């Protein structure tokens, strides 16, 4: 391949890349320096709206991997000694750079991933927001002071950066999830290597090029590095590499289980953000219009490819017919098509495999007694478009316990909130949950220790969408990890307890006497 990008849909991609300052070879290897002469396999980025190529990327080789890891280790020696507020200032500049290129990045996300432009812009804004959040954290990573039982002693705890961390992300949020990890990990004093999804290499390259410029200008090249691989091999290598003190992995439960086992075997740390199978409960006293809007966005947004997508609606039997009737009408009015068209509400699935997976799932659903009352069809023409499906199940079926990463929504009637929560919790995943009710008693029961077993529990808002101020993550096969918000920064640091004896004696703890 020549030393210029092989742009296939030139009019779209070249315009964006020009704005972002991306010229020359599209290398999927970035450490301290952009690899000008990559020798890895070619990877074509596919536009899921047309099924055609956007551009070709040359992937990282194992030699690139070693060079980038070495760059990251070297950068850590100076980055960790940089005062945290100054690290925060670099992240502030990174957020400013993302803001400057927000429109172009949002458009690139829509082109390469397929989510509608409004959602693409929202994802970039989420990355900007987490940068701002991390700037604040850079002055708030507190340790506690404790009273010692020994006289003339002082105890306190402090937090140190872990070192080099690995970030593995999925295709559905190719911009935001990286930044969730990278912004917070950076202000904590860590360096990192990012292995993005092979399905979204262009937005990953754009993000890393922006980061590279910011860190170079700040005098800290190599803090953020990236390796793009056409398959999972380099991600597996990263998980097994003892030099990575933490692996933060976002993706399927199958992938997470493998990463967790490999990382745990070498006594490394991991943050796992895995599958979701989220239920939304609609009680008989719910505001039906609010519930309807929440279900529609939660189930159809990002073509059902969010980990927080609403996949199950558990509706009180007295209002089931009303909700179903209104929801079918809404589904019939959803514009499906080009995600860059302002009137489009749902773009394509990411690839043909996802389309086939959805069709196979619908076949199994019908075999198990589910009744498809709306959608589910594959749309003819270019791209990977489908109609979102609504499935009626009078009682839970086995497929309702599986996460199908596509717009399939199950509706099941329930008699009361306790039955609803039982059905909601009776799945392997535990990410997001919601209830619509105007009863304080039902809401509080849902939020109690007897209620939702998910990491996220919402009242009168949907399952999908997260603000960066709250810790994000779930339980059970969702992995148990937390990113952003609250004290999630502690996952990127190691705690150290310090005791200072400022007296002239050496008393032992618990009154032990020795010599």
Q: 384, 386, 48: which is closest to 202 by C-alpha?
A: 48
CA distance 479 to 301: 23
Under 8 Å between Cβ of 455 and 463: no
Q: Which of 222, 240, 175, 176 is nearest to 30 (CA)?
A: 222
* Alpha helices per DSSP H over 57-116: 62-79, 84-100, 102-112
Distance from the Cα of residue 200 to its chain's centroid:
14
Closest CA to 347 of 337, 356, 332: 337
Kindly state the tokens that stand for 383.
């791209």
Measure the CA–CA gap between 380 and 398, rounded to whole angstroms: 30
118 burial via Cβ count (<10 Å: 0-12, 13-18, 19+): middle
Say if strands 493-501 and 153-161 run parallel, antiparallel, or are unpaired.
antiparallel
> Distance from first CA to last CA of the chain, Å, rounded?
75
207 token code pair = 């993000």
> In 3-state terms, what secondary structure has residue 221?
coil
Q: Quick one: CA torsion of 173, 331, 453, 277, rounded to 10 degrees?
A: -60
Phi, psi of 108 (to 5 degrees): -65, -40
Catalytic annotation, residues: 273, 307
* Sign of the alpha-carbon dihedral angle for 428, 429, 430, 435: negative
Asked if 133 contacts 467 with a C-beta cutoff of 8 angstroms, the reply is no
d(CA 150, CA 513): 13
**Residues 102, 128 contacting (CB under 8 angstroms):** yes
Structure tokens at 35: 């690899």
């Amino acid at each position: 391949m020549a030393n210029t990008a092989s742009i296939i849909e030139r009019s779209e991609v070249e315009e964006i890349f020009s704005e972002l300052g991306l010229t020359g070879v599209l290398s999927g290897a970035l450490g301290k320096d952009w690899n000008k002469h990559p020798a890895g396999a070619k990877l074509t980025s596919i536009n899921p709206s047309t099924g055609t190529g956007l551009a070709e990327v040359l992937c990282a080789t194992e030699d690139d991997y070693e060079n980038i890891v070495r760059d990251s280790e070297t950068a850590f020696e100076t980055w960790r000694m940089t005062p945290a507020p100054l690290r925060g200032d670099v992240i502030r500049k990174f957020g400013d750079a993302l803001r400057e290129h927000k429109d172009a990045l949002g458009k690139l996300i829509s082109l390469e991933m397929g989510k509608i432009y409004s959602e693409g812009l929202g994802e970039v804004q989420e990355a900007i927001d987490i940068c701002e959040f991390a700037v604040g954290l850079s002055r708030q990573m507190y340790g506690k002071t404790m009273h010692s039982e020994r006289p003339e002693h002082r105890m306190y705890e402090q937090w140190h950066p872990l070192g080099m961390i690995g970030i593995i992300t999925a295709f559905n949020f190719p911009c935001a999830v990286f930044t969730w990890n990278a912004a917070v990990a950076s202000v904590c004093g860590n360096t990192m290597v990012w292995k993005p999804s092979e399905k979204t290499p262009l937005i990953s390259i754009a993000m890393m090029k922006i980061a590279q410029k910011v860190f170079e200008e700040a005098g800290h090249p190599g803090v953020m590095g990236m390796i793009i691989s056409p398959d999972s091999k380099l991600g597996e290598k990263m998980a097994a590499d003892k030099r990575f003190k933490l692996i933060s992995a976002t993706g399927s439960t199958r992938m997470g289980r493998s990463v967790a086992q490999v990382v745990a075997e070498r006594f490394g740390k991991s943050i796992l953000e895995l599958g979701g199978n989220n239920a939304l409960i609609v009680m008989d006293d719910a505001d039906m219009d609010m519930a309807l809007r929440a279900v529609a966005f939660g189930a159809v947004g990002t073509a059902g490819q969010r980990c927080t997508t609403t996949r199950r609606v558990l509706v009180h039997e007295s209002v089931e017919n009303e909700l179903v009737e209104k929801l079918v009408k809404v589904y019939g009015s959803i514009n499906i098509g080009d995600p860059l068209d302002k009137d489009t509400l749902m773009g394509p699935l990411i690839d043909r495999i996802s389309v086939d997976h959805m069709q196979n799932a619908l076949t199994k659903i019908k075999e198990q007694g589910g009744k498809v009352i709306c959608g589910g069809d594959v749309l003819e023409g270019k791209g990977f478009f489908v109609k979102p499906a609504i499935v009626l199940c009078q009682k839970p079926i086995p497929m309702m316990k599986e996460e199908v990463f596509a717009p399939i929504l199950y509706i099941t009637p329930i008699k009361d909130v306790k039955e609803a929560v039982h059905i909601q919790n009776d799945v392997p995943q535990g990410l997001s949950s919601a209830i619509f009710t105007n009863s304080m008693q039902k809401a509080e029961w849902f939020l109690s220790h007897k209620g939702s077993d998910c990491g996220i529990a919402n009242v009168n808002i949907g399952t999908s969408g997260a603000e960066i101020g709250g810790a994000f993550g779930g339980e059970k096969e969702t992995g148990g990890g937390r990113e952003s918000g609250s004290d999630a920064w502690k996952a990127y640091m190691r705690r150290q307890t310090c005791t200072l004896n400022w007296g002239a004696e050496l008393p032992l703890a618990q009154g032990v006497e020795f010599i």
